[in-house]
Amino acid sequence: MAKVLCVLYDDPTTGYPTSYARDDLPHLDGYPGGQTLPTPRGVDFTPGRLLGSVTGELGLRAYLESQGHTLVVTSDKDGEDSAFDRELADADIVISQPFWPAYLTAERFARAPELKLAVTAGIGSDHVDLDAAIEHGVTVAEVTYCNSISVAEHVVMMILSLVRNYLPSHQVVLDGGWNIADCVARAYDVEGMHVGTVAAGRIGAAVLRRLKPFDVHLHYTDRHRLPREVEEELGLTFHASAADMVPFCDVVTINAPLHPETEGLFGDKLIGSMKRGAYLINTARGKIADRDAVVRALESGQLAGYAGDVWFPQPAPADHPWRAMPHHGMTPHISGSTLSAQARYAAGAREILENWFAGEAIRDEYLIVDGGKLAGTGAHSYSTNK
């Protein structure tokens, strides 16, 4: 029997919900492009409930315990003698979320001799040292596509919020004011702007599709060029690299995975090559943007705004400079953890576990590392240091 160690974020400060704003979720037939939603043999939760926090347990306890497995759930993942470190020593499986990542470092792999499977309940497995996973023969899987559209919607919201100066204007209302000139002095229309995405995978492509009706000029760069018919349908301009693309753009959105080629990509040099007064959106990973370079660009006016919900480390410390920098629209890492998305990534996590325990193949699109090498989606999206 297996010990499953699950690291989830804390419950709401007011306690686990007893009621919700809505009674149900819309029905989805599948993902764009034809991939099916998660297909576990069963679920023990009600879609639309809070599953990603400690009490929600991803809806896994009844299933795992009925099969004789042990489930340990904690939010305590950092610092000396964390619950995560104590329980990791004899864990067979670790489940974590990108929003509250349990960083599986090389040192932690070395202290986890029983570990065989690391599951990301969500998308993006960069909190797992993939080189170490390969070295130790650990399979890494994630619930690909489960919250891609959730993130794409968040990107569009943040673009509009920055360009239209929404957040400061809303604050005027909260403060009891009616300072119209103060609100509109930094407000523009998105119409006619040039908007580019760094990476046009599931999230990036969904962002492009959602922006097309705004009558903007769309640009993208990606290591895998989109089919010509997609470029023509959306009116896309392809660029060979981010450095080639960003000088043309009024808005740049980062939708790339974190790996050695993208870490620190948006530093002083690349940001300095952007149009003065451009906006930068980052819902990918915090380390793709240089922390201090972003602050400097906002303070100097090189960037008119920066928004995103990804930080490093996560959770971000209270003194993280992105909390206090000017003209930002930062949120905690929530873009892919809506109640709608939670139903999908909880179901996907269970599907992966069901396959694993039954000795069945995990979906290729869920695999990041398998058999001692990058596999499935991992081979398409990631690179390693080896």
Task: Give residue-wise pLDDT tens across range 211-268.
Answer: 999 999 999 999 999 999 999 999 999 999 999 999 999 999 999 999 899 999 999 9
Task: Reply yes or no on whether 333 is catalytic.
Answer: yes
Reading the block at residue 365, the tokens are 């699109």
pLDDT in tens, 107-159: 999 999 999 999 999 999 989 999 999 999 999 999 999 999 999 999 999 99
What does the pLDDT read at residue 365? 95
Catalytic option among 165, 255, 302, 314:
314
Residue in 162, 275, 46 with CA at minimum distance from that of residue 154 = 162
pLDDT in tens, 7-61: 999 999 999 999 999 999 999 999 998 999 999 999 999 999 999 999 999 999 9
Catalytic option among 69, 154, 291, 333:
333
The whole-angstrom separation of Cα 63 and Cα 43 is 8
Instruction: Report CA-CA distances (Å) from 367 to 85, 100, 142, 256, 341.
Output: 25, 21, 7, 17, 19
Catalytic option among 202, 219, 285, 363:
285
Ranges assigned E (strand) in the chain: 3-7, 70-74, 93-96, 117-120, 139-142, 194-198, 217-221, 236-239, 251-254, 278-282, 303-308, 367-370, 373-374
- pLDDT category at 79 given cuts 50, 70, 90 is confident
Task: Reply yes or no on whether 285 is catalytic.
Answer: yes
- Tell me whether the omega of the peptide bond preceding residue 40 falls within 30 degrees of 0, making it cis: no
Residue 12 region by backbone torsions, left for phi larger than 0, else alpha for psi between -120 and 50, else beta: beta
Catalytic option among 108, 127, 147, 165:
147
Edge to edge, what strands does the sheet with 236-239 contain? 236-239, 217-221, 194-198, 251-254, 278-282, 303-308
CB of 105 closer than 8 Å to CB of 36? no
What does the pLDDT read at residue 33? 87
Task: Reply yes or no on whether 35 is catalytic.
Answer: no
What does the pLDDT read at residue 380? 86
User: Would you tell me how many other CB atoms lie within 10 Å of the CB of residue 145?
Assistant: 26
pLDDT in tens, 319-337: 999 999 999 999 999 999 9
- pLDDT category at 386 given cuts 50, 70, 90 is low
What does the pLDDT read at residue 384? 74
CB of 278 closer than 8 Å to CB of 252? yes
Task: Reply yes or no on whether 171 is catalytic.
Answer: no
Of all residues in the chain, what percent carry a pLDDT higher than 90? Answer: 96
